């Protein structure tokens, strides 16, 4: 029987008078790869931020791995992010003065304790075994994003949230990162990925389309 990892019910988020999410409901099973799509300002990133514990809903429920995020305080959300979420950002967001290895170890440090051997292994898994001691500024965009993927995976999160993970990459690097996501999916990782590109969205198991903060009428299984 497939386990439901993410459950969203009547999720609303308002920024002043702007309604970013307006009664969104859906569920994601463990091991699914979901593409969240929609035009700019449709609420994709807001949805990802709420599911990642970076933001709180105005109303409704968001349950991830049986944790109702609305019930967590700030410290609880921090712990939730450290233990259950792996973020991959469009802008990579690596700490500029730490090496590739140290950036991965940083996530370990905030989770529990560091293990350099494990961090090396994770970077080798994303093909960066020869770039361990390089600073982000010394890496290409694709390499930086692979470091970000390694950082997202190092604590074995329940859910990987990727916000436009290939949005800043050239085609060659895009293929490398998408290859990594495919591999993660084959390893039964649950991935929620925001993307604009239909051909990338097509790689996912399922699409969730957002328009003006609402689910589009017929999110289709791909």
Partner 1 sequence: MFLRIVGESFLRNPRRKILTAAALALGMAVATATLTVALEVGDRMAREFRSLGANLLVVPQSDTLPLEIGGVDYRPVDEGAYLREADLGKLKTIFWRHNILGFTPFLDTPAIVYGSKPIRTTLIGTWYEHRVPIPDGTQFTTGVSKTHPSWQIRGRWFQDGSSEAVVGAALAARDPAHLAIGKTIQVRPSEAANPAWNLLVTGIVSTGDAEEGAIFVPLAFAQAYSGHGGEFRRLYVSALTKPADVLAERDPRTLSPTEYDRWFCSPYISSISYQMEQVLPGTEVRTIRRVADSEGRILSQVSTLLWIVTLAALAAAALAIAATSAAAVLERQVEIGVMKAIGATNTRVTALFLTEHLTLALAGGAIGFVMGTALARFLGASVFGVPASPEFILLPIVLALAALVALVGGLIPIRRVAHVDPAPILRGE
* Contact between 155 and 108 (Cβ < 8 Å): yes
Tell me which of 32, 42, 43, 55 binds partner 1, using CB under 8 A.
Answer: 55
**57 touching partner 1, by CB under 8 A:** no
Q: What is the DSSP string of the chain?
A: -PPEEEEEEEEEEEETTEEEEEEEEEEEETT-EEEEE-STTSSHHHHHHHHTTSS--SEEEEEETTEEGGG--HHHHHHHHHHHEEEE-TT----TTS-HHHHHHHHHHHHS---HHHHHHHHHHTT-TT-TT--GGGS-HHHHHHHHHHHHHTT--SEEEEESTTTT--HHHHHHHHHHHHHHHHTT-EEEEE-S-HHHHTTSSEEEEEETTEE-S---B-
Stretch that binds partner 1, among 2-10, 20-28, 74-82, 214-222 (CB under 8 A): 74-82
Q: Closer to partner 1 at the Cβ: 41 or 127?
A: 41
| Total of chain residues touching partner 1, rule CB under 8 A | 34
Residues 162-221 within binding reach of partner 1 (CB under 8 A): none
Q: Closer to partner 1 at the Cβ: 106 or 121?
A: 106
Stretch that binds partner 1, among 16-24, 30-38, 46-54, 193-201 (CB under 8 A): 46-54
Residues 88-147 within binding reach of partner 1 (CB under 8 A): 89, 91, 93-99, 102, 105-111, 114, 135
Report the C-alpha gap between 55 and 49 in whole angstroms.
Answer: 5
- Shortest Cβ 198–partner 1 spacing (Å): 23
Q: Closer to partner 1 at the Cβ: 117 or 221?
A: 117
Cα angle, residue 59 at apex, residues 56 and 65 outer, rounded to 5°: 60
- Shortest Cβ 82–partner 1 spacing (Å): 2
Q: Closer to partner 1 at the Cβ: 4 or 168?
A: 168
Residue 94's φ and ψ, nearest 5 degrees, are -95, 155
- Shortest Cβ 95–partner 1 spacing (Å): 5
Tell me which of 42, 45, 144, 145 binds partner 1, using CB under 8 A.
Answer: 45
Query: Hey, what are 166's tokens?
Result: 């290939």
**49 touching partner 1, by CB under 8 A:** yes
Query: Which residues contact partner 1 (rule: CB under 8 A)?
Result: 45, 49, 52, 54-55, 74-75, 78-79, 81-83, 87, 89, 91, 93-99, 102, 105-111, 114, 135, 151, 155
């Amino acid at each position: 029987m497939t386990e439901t990892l993410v459950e969203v019910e009547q999720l609303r988020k308002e920024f002043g008078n702007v309604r970013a999410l307006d009664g969104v409901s859906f569920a994601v099973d463990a091991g699914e790869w979901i593409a969240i799509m929609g035009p700019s300002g449709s609420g994709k990133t807001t949805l990802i931020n709420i599911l990642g514990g970076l933001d709180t809903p105005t109303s409704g429920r968001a349950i991830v791995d049986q944790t109702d995020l609305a019930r967590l305080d700030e410290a609880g959300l921090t712990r939730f992010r450290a233990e259950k979420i792996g973020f991959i950002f469009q802008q990579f967001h690596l700490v500029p003065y730490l090496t590739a290895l140290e950036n991965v170890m940083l996530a370990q440090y905030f989770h529990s304790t560091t293990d350099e051997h494990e961090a090396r292994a994770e970077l080798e898994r994303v093909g960066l075994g020869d770039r361990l001691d390089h600073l982000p500024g010394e890496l290409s965009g694709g390499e930086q994003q692979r470091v970000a993927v390694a950082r997202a995976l190092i604590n074995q999160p329940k859910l990987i949230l990727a916000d436009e993970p290939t949005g800043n990459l050239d085609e060659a690097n895009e293929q490398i990162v998408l290859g990594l996501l495919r591999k993660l999916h084959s390893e039964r990782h649950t991935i929620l990925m925001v993307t604009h590109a239909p051909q990338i969205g097509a790689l996912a198991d399922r699409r969730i389309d957002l328009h003006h903060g609402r689910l589009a009428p017929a999110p289709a299984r791909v």
